[in-house]
Structure 1
Amino acid sequence: MAARTKKAAMLMTILLVMLTAACSSNNNAPGNKTTSEPQNTASGGSEATPAAKPVEITWWNFPNFQALDGEVGKYEKEMIAAFNQKHPEIKVNLEMITFDGGPEKLNVAIASNSAPDVIYDAPGRVIDWGKKGLLAPLDDMIPQDVRSDIPDAFWKQSMVGDKTVMYPINTAPFMMAVNKTVFEKIGALDLLPLDRKDRVWSFDEYKAALQAVKEKAPDVIPSVFFAKSQAGDQGTRAYIANLGLSSFLKDDLSAIAINTDQAGAALDWIAQAQKDKLVISGSAALAASDVNDLFLQGKVAFSINYSAVLKAQNSTLKKAEFEEALLPFPTLDGSAPKLEPYLGGMAIFNNGDDAKIAAAKTFIDFVANDEVYGKKNLIQTGGLSVRNSVTGLYDDEEYAYSELARQFITAPPTIADGYAEIRTYWFPALQSVLLGQQTGKEALDSFAKSADEAIAKAKAQLK
């Protein structure tokens, strides 16, 4: 009897062990989730689900976000720390680059196969890299609700063929800025179109404003121009195109359109305006950053290369107390202007490592869409959201105007085939006029010839 009882007890024990094993196996079956923490197996404990494999990526960033406490890159480090709270397995190495030296540094890195994994930049460079096959497609990280919430105009600037190579995040129309305080001091605020909802104004009205500054504020330079380097080329393009009622490119982006008589006359006026002290002298040797610094010092009344994004980024860089206002470029006859959009977004260089590409996508998704940092990042750029559903981020009159001015946005030339080469011909053409070597029309015709050849060559290479 005792033997029979002992045998029954043994059978019960075996059954309990089998049931426990079955339950354990079922809990780890596909489709079931576990909330238990991975256990340390170094001392011979039971095997557990392995933690995500650590990945290290490098992010190169222009100063796209406002400096925090006056320190460039401090905000980005804060963002990375917040990202690591959610993704401790992904290490992000940040390297800040400048708008002056950054483009060349990127070119060298690409040529030496040492490009960063992630870049926050604009279509001018990103699309060119995409056309050269240097970037990883991002389509698998863009759900349909996001794609339909962003206007087609922004997707056109973010895609090469049917592949998305840049994740669009922030935008703002490029336009002018005026030192409003200068006009208040000289009692000429009425010369600015600030009382008009759309702020649209004419070339004659603009010239009257410049003349008032020259006569009543002799220590202030009325306006600026620059032609030393490629940076800021969108400001000079739109300035001349609007003063001359022209477009930089044809609507289908197949050829240059700015070489008109009126645009040539506008360029001639700029050269003469230097001599008349309405535009800064020596502009052929000045870069966009040079004249921007003068504006921030309060020494210039008008900047021709501005946006809501730059307004925010410059807020901590001002060296003088003044209030600026955003204005569209004046047009020859006071008609609606054509503004190029600033578009900022993130791209991934395909460095041949799938794990890094996947990690970079996770990081981009956090920057753009995190429930806390998505909005916070937008505001820190000073830009507007590319999404139709995200508006009213700022309680500020100039940002409200910037949103209104989106109605004037036209397709930018940055998506044209051969754009990277086109822009290399632009500033030499401007310099030739500023230095008295060619008329405006001659320079624009010469530019158009070289640029059209670049477009044709690029199209042929893409076939």
Structure 2
Amino acid sequence: MRTFKKGIMSLLGITLISTQLAACGSTAETPKSSEAGKETTPSNTAKPVEITWWNFPSFQALDGEVGKYEKQVIAAFNQKNPDIKVNLEMLTFEAGPEKLNVAIASNTAPDVIYDAPGRILDWGKKDLLAPLNDMITDEVKNDVSPALMKQSMVGDQVYMYPINTAPFMLGVNKTVFEKIGALNLLPLDRPDRTWSFDEYKKALQAVKEKAPDVIPSGFFAKSQAGDQGTRAYISNLGNASFFTDDYSKVAINTDKAGAALDWIVQGVKDKLVVGGSESLTGGDVNDLFLQGKLAISLNYSPVLRAQNVTLKKAEFEDILLPFPTIDGAKPRLEPYLGGMAVFNNGDDAKIAASKKLIDFIANDPEWGKKNLIQTGGLSARNSITGLYNDPEYTYAEKAREFYTNPPTVADGYAEIRTYWFPELQRALIGKATGKEALDSFAEKANEAITKAKAEAKK
């Protein structure tokens, strides 16, 4: 029987998008059930199985009650699988990561979890998870983009069943631009909405001049959460990749990316970028956006946009735009991916039962579509589209063509991301130029990659 490795792993917080959604219409095809979950009648296992499901707020909280929707999912699952008891425990984004660390170290990890690649792939690399290859049929594999499958696998082993996705982009307060007569400065007349760095600067300048009570753009560097927003922002402003295509080393430390970071630093001084960025978190910036005090926010997505429907403190219409690039070329958008994993707690019956729960959540003819909509995200399956009657979701579907290689799959990623924000802070407080900060980050990150590769060979 396989047991967990002891000792608290160095698991790092990753901003997971809290996925709440206002009710929307749907015209999507119903997801088809995979081979792992063909049962449509109660199973006849001789002995009842009890499993524990730990879940971050991956679904909309019904009636303000966190976990209420998940309980409905479990009740529906039990109608078809009465011999499987599912114990639900909801995690918070603040305390959840440490609770998982302690559970893993004490061999009390849950059986199944809904999470994101940042943690799941790290667990997979540490041999803590049960492979899900038997659940990924050819139909599923051919219907999920390579960028998303990369975030679900370690080597040739699938450790996360991909369910919902969304491109990380800019969130824009469209109402502000309408009020100042500058809507024409946004690339909304272009089907792909791509725009250049110069066009972006003009839009920010217009906000500064015509809406002095609104901060043109956001930035943050206080904690590890939301790092995907800042790295994609700088990567696109500098037309640079974050890693080389083979993930062998960092590639963002280019002269152009350094100049982009220098522009952000100067932008704070010029009041084009929020002041005190070095001490702000991604959540702080999103709060400013919700208050109508920020025109353009980073780290946005259809999922966060859905959550914000009920959290806005000011009335405004928010829209999605891709990150600008130097020459208006196609941007590189990092894909958010949510999915489920099974811990290998040494009990084959619990592993099998956990897989049945995953298959039900992802592929049940009725609940599969419901669950997708409840996340506020897009389907990880290319064939399942049109879930929402909303032009911003229609654009988000199109923006999936800009998906780039996800940094989360790099060897040593859990350590690499700890070096990112400290270097941004050094630049923001004037202790390093943009290029110096990115070079320092690259040096440390490359050492982490080398170390991780060496450990993997042991």
Aligned to 1:103: 97
Alpha-carbon distance in structure 1 between the residues aligned to 2:356 and 2:148:
22
Alpha-carbon distance in structure 2 between the residues aligned to 1:322 and 1:88:
46
Deviation at 1:50, TM superposition (A): 7.7
Aligned to 2:57: 63
Aligned to 1:79: 73
Question: Is 1:201 aligned with 2:195?
Answer: yes
Deviations 1:91-115 (A, max 9, x none): 2222222333322332232222222
Aligned to 1:444: 438
Contact 1:175 1:329 in 2 (8 A): yes
Distance 1:128 1:291, change over 3 A: same
Distance 1:127 1:360, change over 3 A: same
With 164-173 and 64-73 compared, the bigger mean Cα shift is at 64-73
Aligned to 1:171: 165
Matches within 5 A, 1:28-43: none
Contact 1:240 1:267 in 2 (8 A): yes
Alpha-carbon distance in structure 2 between the residues aligned to 1:446 and 1:101:
31
Q: 2:136 aligns with which of 142, 151, 159?
A: 142
Matches within 5 A, 1:124-163: 124-163=118-157
Q: 1:355 aligns with which of 343, 349, 359?
A: 349
Please, what is the CA RMSD of the aligned residues? 1.6
Contact 2:147 2:406 in 1 (8 A): no
Contact 1:122 1:344 in 2 (8 A): yes
Deviation at 1:232, TM superposition (A): 0.8
Aligned to 1:411: 405
Alpha-carbon distance in structure 1 between the residues aligned to 2:212 and 2:155:
52
Q: 2:388 aligns with which of 390, 394, 417?
A: 394
Deviation at 1:145, TM superposition (A): 2.2
TM-score between the two structures when normalised by the length of structure 1: 0.87
Deviations 1:303-361 (A, max 9, x none): 11011121122222222221111000011121111111111110011122222211111
Residue 189 of structure 1 aligns with an amino acid whose one-letter code is: L
Contact 2:169 2:300 in 1 (8 A): yes
Alpha-carbon distance in structure 2 between the residues aligned to 1:160 and 1:71:
35
Alpha-carbon distance in structure 2 between the residues aligned to 1:433 and 1:107:
32
Whose helix fraction is larger, Structure 1's or Structure 2's?
1
Distance 1:50 1:154, change over 3 A: closer
Matches within 5 A, 1:246-325: 246-325=240-319
Deviation at 1:83, TM superposition (A): 1.4
Deviation at 1:218, TM superposition (A): 1.8
Deviation at 1:446, TM superposition (A): 0.6
Alpha-carbon distance in structure 2 between the residues aligned to 1:135 and 1:410:
26
Residue 396 of structure 1 aligns with an amino acid whose one-letter code is: D
Report sequence identity in percent.
Answer: 76
Aligned to 1:333: 327
**SS of 2:323's equivalent?**
coil
**SS of 1:248's equivalent?**
coil
**SS of 2:60's equivalent?**
coil
Aligned to 1:455: 449
Aligned to 1:116: 110
Contact 2:197 2:327 in 1 (8 A): yes
With 134-143 and 422-431 compared, the bigger mean Cα shift is at 134-143
Question: Is 1:378 aligned with 2:372?
Answer: yes
Question: Rg larger in 1 or in 2?
Answer: 1
Alpha-carbon distance in structure 2 between the residues aligned to 1:316 and 1:92:
30
Residue 322 of structure 1 aligns with an amino acid whose one-letter code is: F
Deviation at 1:66, TM superposition (A): 2.0
Aligned to 1:233: 227
Deviation at 1:406, TM superposition (A): 0.9
Contact 2:196 2:327 in 1 (8 A): yes
Deviation at 1:443, TM superposition (A): 0.8
Alpha-carbon distance in structure 2 between the residues aligned to 1:210 and 1:101:
37
Paired residues in the alignment total 416
Alpha-carbon distance in structure 1 between the residues aligned to 2:245 and 2:154:
18
User: Which structure has more RCO (C-alpha within 8 Å, separation ≥ 6)?
Assistant: 2
**SS of 2:213's equivalent?**
coil
Deviation at 1:51, TM superposition (A): 6.2
Aligned to 2:217: 223
Contact 1:171 1:384 in 2 (8 A): yes
TM-score between the two structures when normalised by the length of structure 2: 0.88
Alpha-carbon distance in structure 2 between the residues aligned to 1:193 and 1:100:
36
Deviations 1:52-109 (A, max 9, x none): 4222222222222122233332222221221122222222222222333322332232
Contact 1:67 1:313 in 2 (8 A): no
Unaligned runs of 5+ in 1: 1-36, 38-48
Distance 1:134 1:344, change over 3 A: same
Deviations 1:2-41 (A, max 9, x none): xxxxxxxxxxxxxxxxxxxxxxxxxxxxxxxxxxx9xxxx
Contact 1:70 1:316 in 2 (8 A): no
**SS of 2:76's equivalent?**
helix
Unaligned runs of 5+ in 2: 1-41
Alpha-carbon distance in structure 2 between the residues aligned to 1:88 and 1:319:
44
Alpha-carbon distance in structure 1 between the residues aligned to 2:369 and 2:300:
22
Aligned to 1:210: 204
Alpha-carbon distance in structure 2 between the residues aligned to 1:302 and 1:403:
21
